Structure 1
Amino acid sequence: MPIDRAMVDGLSLTDQPVHQTAAASILYALGTGFGRDPLDGRERRFVHERDLVALPTLAAQLTFAGHVLLERIGADMRLVVHAGQGVALHRPLPPEGHLLFDTIVTGIIDKGAGRGALVLLETHLRERTGGGLLAVATSTAFARGDGGCGSAGRDRAPPLFPAPPARPPDHVDIFHTRPDQALLFRLSGDMNPLHADPEAARAAGFDRPILHGLCTYGICGRAVLASVLDFDATRLRALHVRFAHPVFPGETIMTEMWVEEGRVLLRAHVRERAVAVISGGYALI
């Protein structure tokens, strides 16, 4: 049964609690590649409880609940993959504390029968005490089995990404993912068997388990922090990316970055297969 577009209007999750702990902040940082050099003090502050700093991209993981709304509108969850992710920071994230978030489906973009549909979601993360807004996360899910359902909602077009300039990148970050990268990252909350169970991965059309899109997102955020911002998390105001192909754990992600006034344009590919994994993206700094 395809997505029921009539379910979109007014569908939301409200006042969803998040009890963030220092250990969870550290686990997320480890899962996105921080701390591999435990003697580097710039990275250690993300993975050690003394003077702990939360990563800006953690906001995307803390608000991970879109699958609940996708299930409610009838998406075939076996064939859903992450197509895009963005986070806009309004203030630094606390490494621990009690938070709340609200998520809504803002639109469905029907690509046609047999071609799937894009489902757009928006989440507001705020402090539980005082209600101060911390971040707004946007996510695009590609429901590969639900084409022909019809478009709906306020958003009828996918997010746009500026093209990189026609010159060599200013920075290239090379990151070797671990064979067990997905097994480590899933402990931050996304337990989808697509990322751990070979049979589930084959049923979804992949030869083996794939890396979480949010992990690739976090690794690209790490590339910007490491290459452009000297690991100063307070300088990353937003990060938006469009996913093109999945990463298989153990592959090498190469992130190319072009620095402009107030922003960094980026794209990424896996070296082993020479395929794009991030076809477009930008960070606001």
Structure 2
Amino acid sequence: MPIFYPDILDQRTPARTFTYGDKDVMLYALGVGMGQDPMNETELPFVYEKNLKVIPTAATVLAAGARAAANAGPAPQMPEGHRPSQINFLMVVHGEQKVELHKPLPTKGTFTVEGRTVGAFDKGKDKGAVVINESVWTDENGEKVATLTSSTFARGDGGFGGPTEGAPEPHKVPERAPDMSVDFTTREDQALLYRLNGDRNPLHSDPDSAKRSGFPRPILHGLCTYGITCRAILQAVTDFDPDQIKSHQARFSAPVFPGDTITVDIWKDGKEISFEARVKDRNATVIKNGLAVLR
């Protein structure tokens, strides 16, 4: 089923209620590498229920599939007479991710999430399309908790006749040298642990699946790398206070292999913290155009 424009902008996913608890919060923190040193008392509150803290980017997994629901979940709700669109999910790449927190994430709770498509941009018949989806969490009082925005590069769905320009411009990091850099060495089993948060795509666990996709071995989840960049901001900028982070966004540019050392470069400009991430051993920039905004 192709993309129908502008009908796609009226697509909604049904409201869905979900609950998470301290186990989910701690599993996410372990998945992005927290707690490797159990004597590190600055990281311990993220992986131990005593004085538990929540990494802001955990919002990408705590809804138990909220992002997937926005992209490939139940049949979308459409106004009468509108045509539902469906992109070819065998040809998609996660392009960008943003988490905006309207209030700090609690350590547990029950929430409602609703998704919608907010943009679709046509790069040409042989060049694909960019589809932007949004998921909004509300709490039991109906107050907004988080807004998640993701862009998907649909390589097989160009030429649908939508706008060719107007997609949001990526954040530009400063041209000066980074104000600081932080190194994180990922574990060889990092993807096997992170996948327990919900994304069990065999690309991240099955060597044969990875080879069929053109990789020599399973790759790390892009959202795990994204979470590691948030971990870097927590460590280098906020003194491990997650409540200071209002939003965190980035663009995915290259894969990470479990075992790689990720260097996160950071620029501080008031409440705007720019960042990029690279793997020096392979001369690869894996995260670009990063921006964290502090409260």
The TM-score, its normalising length taken from structure 1, stands at 0.91
* 1:207-263 Cα deviation digits (max 9, x unpaired): 332211211110000000001111011111111101111212221111100001111
Instruction: After TM superposition, give the deviation of residue 7 of structure 1 in Å.
Output: 5.2
Instruction: After TM superposition, give the deviation of residue 27 of structure 1 in Å.
Output: 0.2
Residue 160 (structure 1) aligned to one of 158, 169, 186: 169
Q: Which amino acid aligns with 1:41?
A: E
Instruction: After TM superposition, give the deviation of residue 130 of structure 1 in Å.
Output: 0.7
Matches within 5 A, 1:1-285: 2-5=2-5, 8-63=8-63, 64-71=65-72, 73-127=85-139, 129-151=140-162, 157-285=166-294
SS in 2 for 1:42: coil
Provide the C-alpha distance between the structure 2 equivalents of 1:208 and 1:20, rounded to a whole number of angstroms. 32
Which one is further off, 20-29 or 263-272?
A: 263-272
Number of corresponding residues: 282
Instruction: After TM superposition, give the deviation of residue 68 of structure 1 in Å.
Output: 4.2
Instruction: After TM superposition, give the deviation of residue 55 of structure 1 in Å.
Output: 1.4
* 1:112-155 Cα deviation digits (max 9, x unpaired): 1222211101111121x212211111111112222223326xx9
Distance 1:115-1:268 versus aligned 2 partners, 3 A rule:
same
Q: Which amino acid aligns with 1:119?
A: V
Provide the C-alpha distance between the structure 2 equivalents of 1:236 and 1:2, rounded to a whole number of angstroms. 38
Residues 27 and 47, structure 1, Cα contact 8 Å, conserved in 2? yes
Distance 1:69-1:260 versus aligned 2 partners, 3 A rule:
closer
Distance 1:264-1:41 versus aligned 2 partners, 3 A rule:
same
Q: Which amino acid aligns with 2:59?
A: A
Provide the C-alpha distance between the structure 1 equivalents of 2:49 and 2:226, rounded to a whole number of angstroms. 23
Structure 1 residue runs of 5 or longer lacking an equivalent are none
Instruction: After TM superposition, give the deviation of residue 23 of structure 1 in Å.
Output: 0.6
Instruction: After TM superposition, give the deviation of residue 6 of structure 1 in Å.
Output: 5.9
Q: Percent identity?
A: 41
Q: Which amino acid aligns with 1:161?
A: P
C-alpha RMSD over aligned residues: 2.0
Provide the C-alpha distance between the structure 2 equivalents of 1:162 and 1:9, rounded to a whole number of angstroms. 24
